[in-house]
């Protein structure tokens, strides 16, 4: 029995479409950061923020009720987000967290879709500052953000799920109690699309 060429072409197209969608299924901008919970007992100060989409919507409702300018900016930022997760630990002494704790997060950021946009590591004091972006394989839009910031006495992991605007996030400096660092605004940095990775080492 001879299969018509048209049917073969259709099957081949469907197979290709299925194969193309496999990486999209594998991309998950939500990181598993529960492994850091064990550090809570050692930390002097802990910030643990877990906000899923429903909580973000609820918060957005209360921001809408207020006429505060900061609230309006924050509301605009979280409008389309699916989740915001933050774990931040401040320790009284050095060596309270291990490199394995950080590696557990980094290994997830090695998955397809994640791109390291900025990475700074100090050789002197071991400070780490890394920014990762997940981009949608089809639309090329940002679908997730991860920040790892660590020094000898603190560790912070930020994971934002959804189309986050880095420019807007960065521009909150000097507002909502965020200290002004006097950062120079340069074109091409902190932009929506991931730029080439910075693997700078001091």
Partner 1 sequence: MKDLENELRKALERREPPAGFAERVLAQLEPAPTPRPGWREALISLVPMPRLRWAAAGVVACLLLTLGALHYRRVAQERAVGEAAKAQVMQALRIASSKLNVTMKKVQETDRRLPPA
Can you give the binding site for partner 1, defined by CB under 8 A? 47, 49, 51, 55-56, 58-59, 61-63, 70-71, 74, 77-78, 84-86, 88, 118, 120, 127, 129-131, 145, 147, 149, 156, 158, 160, 166, 169-170, 172-173, 176-179, 181, 183-184, 186, 189-190, 198, 200, 202
Q: How far is CA 154 from the centre of its chain?
A: 18
d(CA 150, CA 126): 8
d(CA 28, CA 113): 8
Residue 4 sits at φ, ψ, to 5 deg, of -60, 145
d(CA 48, CA 126): 24
Q: How far is the CB of 27 from partner 1 (least distance, A)?
A: 21
Q: How far is the CB of 26 from partner 1 (least distance, A)?
A: 25
Q: How far is the CB of 22 from partner 1 (least distance, A)?
A: 31
Nearer to partner 1, 137 or 154 (CB): 154
- In 3-state terms, what secondary structure has residue 98? coil
Nearer to partner 1, 46 or 111 (CB): 46
Q: How far is the CB of 73 from partner 1 (least distance, A)?
A: 9
Cβ contact 26:111 at 8 Å: yes
């Amino acid at each position: 029995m001879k299969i018509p060429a048209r049917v073969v072409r259709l099957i081949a197209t469907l197979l290709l479409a299925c194969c193309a969608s496999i990486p999209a299924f594998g991309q998950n901008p939500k990181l598993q950061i529960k492994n850091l919970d064990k550090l809570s007992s050692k930390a002097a100060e802990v910030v643990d923020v877990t906000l899923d989409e429903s909580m973000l919507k609820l918060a957005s409702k209360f921001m809408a009720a207020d006429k505060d300018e900061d609230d309006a900016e924050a509301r605009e930022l979280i409008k389309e987000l699916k989740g915001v997760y933050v774990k931040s630990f401040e320790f009284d002494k050095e060596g309270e967290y291990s490199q394995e704790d950080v590696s557990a997060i980094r290994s997830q950021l090695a998955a397809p879709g994640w791109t390291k946009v900025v990475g700074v590591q100090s050789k002197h004091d071991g400070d780490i500052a890394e920014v990762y972006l997940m981009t949608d394989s089809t639309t090329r839009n940002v679908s997730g953000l991860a920040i790892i910031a660590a020094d000898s006495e603190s560790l912070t992991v930020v994971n934002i799920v959804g189309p986050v605007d880095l420019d807007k996030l960065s521009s909150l400096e000097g507002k909502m109690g965020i200290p002004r660092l006097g950062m120079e605004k340069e074109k091409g940095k902190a932009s929506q699309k991931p730029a080439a990775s910075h693997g700078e080492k001091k």
